[in-house]
């Protein structure tokens, strides 16, 4: 596979992922960003933990969708993330989501 073919494949995968995101975003309540992934979910709980003087975050999500074009199944019933980096949680405003927009 040439570099051009690989780039075209990745571009198509990203477009497919974006379209899936656009189709499902309206059924979720929260957006969660970690250093490694972007999630949509309906319940989220973030707890700061301390161990041996280090602080990390434990993020638990229920009914989640994961933005990852390399995952064959993006929906997960429960997700738990442990991270030493920032976690951003935003509640979606359903009135701002228009699934008919392209």
Tens of pLDDT along 7-43? 899 899 899 999 999 999 999 999 999 999 999 999 9
CA 28 – CA 93 distance, rounded (Å): 10
Its domain, for residue 56, covers 3-92
98 is a domain residue: no
101 is a domain residue: no
- Average of pLDDT values for 46-56? 94
Backbone angles phi, psi at 86, to 5 degrees: -60, 150
The tally of domains found in the chain comes to 1
40 is a domain residue: yes
């Amino acid at each position: 596979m040439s570099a051009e073919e690989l780039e075209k494949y990745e571009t198509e995968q990203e477009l497919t992922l974006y379209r899936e995101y656009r189709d499902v975003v309206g059924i979720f309540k929260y957006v969660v960003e970690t250093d490694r992934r972007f999630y949509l979910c309906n319940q989220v709980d973030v707890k700061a933990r301390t161990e041996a003087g280090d602080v990390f975050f434990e993020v638990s999500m229920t009914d989640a969708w994961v933005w990852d074009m390399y995952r064959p199944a993006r929906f997960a019933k429960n997700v738990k993330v442990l991270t030493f980096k920032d976690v951003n949680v935003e509640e979606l405003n359903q009135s701002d989501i228009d699934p008919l927009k392209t």
